[in-house]
C-alpha cells in the first residue's frame, strides 16, 4: 500500500497504471448497489478526482459516512476513466473516513447557495468551488505582486500597523487603547489622559503606510508595502471593507508620468499573470459568475489606458447629457457613478484621471503651477471605479508646511515626516492599490466581502 499522498492537481496530470493515495473532502456521492462514485476535492485545484468503489469490495456500511463534506483517505489504483470529464480516476482499494459531516446539519449540500448565505458561513465557504477559486487566485496575486516588485529591485518595507499619526486624512481611524473604557484616567479639563495609555499617547490602526513608505523611498530608492489597512468609515458598499489589504509602492526620482507608467504596467502584469497561472479557476468563474470575465481580462492587457485631466473629465460629464444622482461641477469629489460613466460608457476602457483640485486631495500631493490643482492620479476601472489612488509628492518643505497649515494637519505630529524634506529632499511619487478591488476585477465577483476570507464591515466581525 502506497504511503505518500498525491495532491489531486498533480494526480490529474499523471499516467494511469500506478497505485496512489489521496486525501480530501467529499463533494458528492452517488451510485447503485454495484458501484459507488465519490467526487473528492482537496483544494489543490477546482477539479475533483472521481473515486470508483466496486461494491463487491466495500459494504454500504463502510461508505455510509462518506457523504458530502466528509474527510477521507483513499488508496487505490490510478486507472483510465471511461467518462468524458476526466482522463483518469481512482479504483478504490481502501477508504478511511477521518471525519463525517452529518447530512442533516452540514450546510453545504450539493445545491448552489446564495453569496449572502455563504457570508453567514464564511468559516465553511472555502470548501465551495467558487471560494476555492477566489482564494487560490488571491494567493497567486499576492505572490505575483511580490515577484513583480522583486524582479524590479523594489524593497518590501514593513510599515507599522499601529500608528500615532492620525492626520493622513485617508479615512476615519480605529483607536487602539488599553485604557479602561468604563473608567479612563482624565486630565483636569475632563479629557482622557492618554499619557497613561499603553504607548503614552493616543494611537490607532493605520489607514495607509504611505508616510513611512516615503521615508523608505528616500533612503532605499524604490520600496513597496503590502499589508492590512483599516478604515472606520460607515460605508456599506460592495467596494468598501473596514479591514482591507493595500499595496503601496513609493519611488524616489519618479514624476507623475513615471508613476502612471508603473501603475499601468503593474496592473497589466497582474492580469496577465492570472490568465497564465490561474486558467482553470478563471474558467470556472467565467462559466459560473461572469460570462465576459476572461474576455475583459484579456482586453485590459492589450489596450492603453486613457490619460485625462480631472478638468477634461468634468467637461465630458457635464456635456454628456446624462442625469447623474450627484451633480457634476468643477471641484466636486467624483462619485463612483461619475467614474463608471467615464470608464464604461464614454471611453470603454480604464482611465487614469490626473490633476485634481487640491481641496479634495491630501496635503502631501505636489501642487501644479496653476495653484489650483495637484499632481494626483486615480486609476478608474470598469465595474469598480477607483482601483488605484496616487500622486507625485510635494518635495518642497515650505510649500508642504504651508499646505499642512491650510488643511489643518498637525506639524508637531509629523515632524519626523518633514525631515524627508529637510534633509536631502527630492522628487518622488507613489500610489496605493486596494488588493480586494484588484481581486474584484480579476475574479468577476461583485461584492468585496466575497474576495477576502473573513470580511470586516460595519456591524460585522464574525469568525
Ligand atoms: P474610495 O474613494 O473608493 O473610498 P479612497 O479615495 O478613500 O477610496 P485611497 O485613500 O486613495 O482610497 O486608497 C487607495 C486605494 O485603496 C483605493 O484606490 C482603493 O483601491 C483602496 N481602498 C480604499 N478604501 C477602501 C476600502 N474601504 N475597502 C477596500 N479598498 C479600499
Ligand atoms: Mn483615492
- Cell numbers representing residue 357 in the block: 483640485
**Cell 479615512 sits at which residue?**
171
Q: What is the mean pLDDT of residues 175-203?
A: 95
Spacing, Cα 328 to ligand 2 middle (Å): 18
Residue 248 CA: nearest ligand 1 atom is 14
Q: Kindly report the protein residue whose alpha carbon is nearest to atom 12 of ligand 1.
A: 389
Q: What's the confidence (pLDDT) of residue 413?
A: 87
* CA 229–ligand 1 middle distance (angstroms): 10
Q: Are 432 and 114 in contact (CB under 8 A)?
A: no
Among 230, 248, 381, 386, say which to mutate for ligand 1: greatest number of ligand atoms within 8 Å of CB. Answer: 386
pLDDT tens string 1-18: 778 999 999 999 999 999
Ligand 1 atom 31 nearest Cα: 434
- The whole-chain average pLDDT of the chain stands at 95
CB-based neighbours (< 5 A) of ligand 2, an ion: 389
Measured from the alpha carbon of residue 209, the closest ligand is 1
How close is the Cα of 240 to the center of ligand 1, in Å?
7
Contact 427, 421 (CB under 8 A): no
Closest by CA position to 250, among listed 420, 441, 413, 403: 420
**pLDDT of 71-83, one tens digit each?**
999 999 999 999 8
Q: Which of 448, 431, 455, 438 is nearest to 141 (CA)?
A: 438
| Ligand 1 pocket at CB < 6 A | 170-171, 231, 240-241, 244, 246, 386-389, 432-434, 436-437
**What pTM does this model have?**
0.96
Residue 167 pLDDT exceeds 70: no
Chain segment 263-320, per-residue pLDDT in tens: 999 999 999 999 999 999 999 999 999 999 999 999 999 999 999 999 999 999 999 9
Q: What is the pLDDT of residues 393-425, one digit of tens each?
A: 999 999 999 999 999 998 988 999 999 999 999
Say how far apart CA 237 and CA 216 lie, in whole Å.
33
**Ligand 2: centre distance to CA 202 (Å):** 26
Higher-scoring residue by pLDDT: 136, 110? 136
Q: Which ligand 1 atom sits nearest the alpha carbon of residue 233? A: 27
**Ligand sitting nearest the alpha carbon of 208:** 1
Mean pLDDT of 144-151: 98
How far is Cα 227 from Cα 229, in angstroms, rounded to an integer? 7
Q: Residue 84 above 90 pLDDT? A: no
Amino acid at each position: 500500500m502506497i504511503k505518500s499522498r498525491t495532491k489531486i492537481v498533480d494526480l490529474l496530470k499523471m499516467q494511469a497504471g500506478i497505485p496512489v493515495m489521496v486525501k480530501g473532502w467529499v463533494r458528492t456521492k452517488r451510485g447503485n448497489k454495484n458501484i459507488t462514485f465519490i467526487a473528492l476535492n482537496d483544494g489543490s485545484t477546482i477539479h475533483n478526482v472521481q473515486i470508483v468503489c466496486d461494491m463487491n469490495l466495500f459494504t454500504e456500511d463502510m461508505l455510509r459516512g462518506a457523504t458530502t463534506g466528509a474527510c477521507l483517505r483513499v488508496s487505490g489504483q490510478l486507472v483510465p476513466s471511461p467518462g468524458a470529464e476526466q482522463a483518469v480516476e481512482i479504483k478504490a482499494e481502501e477508504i478511511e473516513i477521518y471525519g463525517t459531516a452529518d447530512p442533516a446539519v452540514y450546510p453545504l449540500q450539493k445545491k448552489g447557495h446564495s453569496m449572502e448565505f455563504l457570508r453567514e458561513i464564511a468559516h465553511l465557504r472555502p470548501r465551495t468551488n467558487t471560494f476555492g477559486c477566489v482564494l487560490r487566485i488571491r494567493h497567486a496575486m499576492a505572490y505575483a505582486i511580490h515577484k513583480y516588485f522583486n524582479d524590479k529591485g523594489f524593497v518590501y518595507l514593513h510599515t507599522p500597523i499601529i500608528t500615532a499619526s492620525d492626520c493622513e486624512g485617508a479615512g476615519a481611524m480605529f483607536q487602539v487603547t488599553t485604557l479602561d473604557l468604563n473608567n479612563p484616567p482624565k486630565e483636569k479639563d475632563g479629557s482622557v489622559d492618554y499619557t497613561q495609555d499603553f504607548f503614552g499617547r493616543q494611537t490607532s490602526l493605520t489607514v495607509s503606510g504611505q508616510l513611512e513608505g516615503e521615508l523608505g523611498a528616500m533612503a532605499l530608492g524604490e520600496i513597496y508595502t503590502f499589508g492590512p489597512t483599516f478604515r472606520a468609515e460607515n460605508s456599506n458598499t460592495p467596494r468598501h471593507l473596514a479591514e482591507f489589504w493595500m499595496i503601496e509602492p513609493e519611488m524616489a526620482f519618479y514624476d507623475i508620468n513615471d508613476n502612471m507608467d508603473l501603475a499601468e504596467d503593474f496592473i497589466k502584469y497582474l492580469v496577465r499573470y492570472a490568465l497564465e497561472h490561474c486558467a482553470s479557476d478563471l474558467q470556472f468563474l467565467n462559466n459560473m459568475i461572469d460570462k465576459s470575465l476572461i474576455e475583459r481580462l484579456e482586453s485590459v492587457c492589450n489596450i492603453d489606458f486613457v490619460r485625462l485631466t480631472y478638468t477634461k473629465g468634468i467637461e465630458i460629464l457635464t456635456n454628456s447629457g446624462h442625469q447623474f444622482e450627484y451633480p457634476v461641477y468643477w471641484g466636486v469629489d467624483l462619485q463612483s457613478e461619475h467614474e463608471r460613466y467615464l470608464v464604461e460608457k464614454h471611453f470603454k476602457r480604464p482611465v487614469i484621471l490626473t490633476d485634481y483640485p487640491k481641496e479634495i486631495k491630501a496635503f502631501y500631493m505636489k501642487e501644479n503651477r496653476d495653484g489650483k490643482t495637484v499632481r494626483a492620479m486615480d486609476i478608474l476601472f470598469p465595474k469598480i471605479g477607483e482601483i488605484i489612488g496616487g500622486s507625485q509628492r510635494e518635495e518642497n518643505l515650505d510649500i508642504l508646511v504651508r499646505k499642512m497649515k491650510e488643511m489643518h494637519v498637525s506639524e508637531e505630529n509629523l515632524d519626523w515626516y518633514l525631515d524627508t524634506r529637510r534633509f536631502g529632499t527630492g522628487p518622488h511619487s507613489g500610489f496605493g492599490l486596494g488588493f480586494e478591488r484588484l481581486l474584484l476585477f480579476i475574479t468577476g465577483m461583485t461584492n468585496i466581502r466575497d474576495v477576502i476570507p473573513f470580511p470586516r464591515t460595519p456591524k460585522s466581525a464574525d469568525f
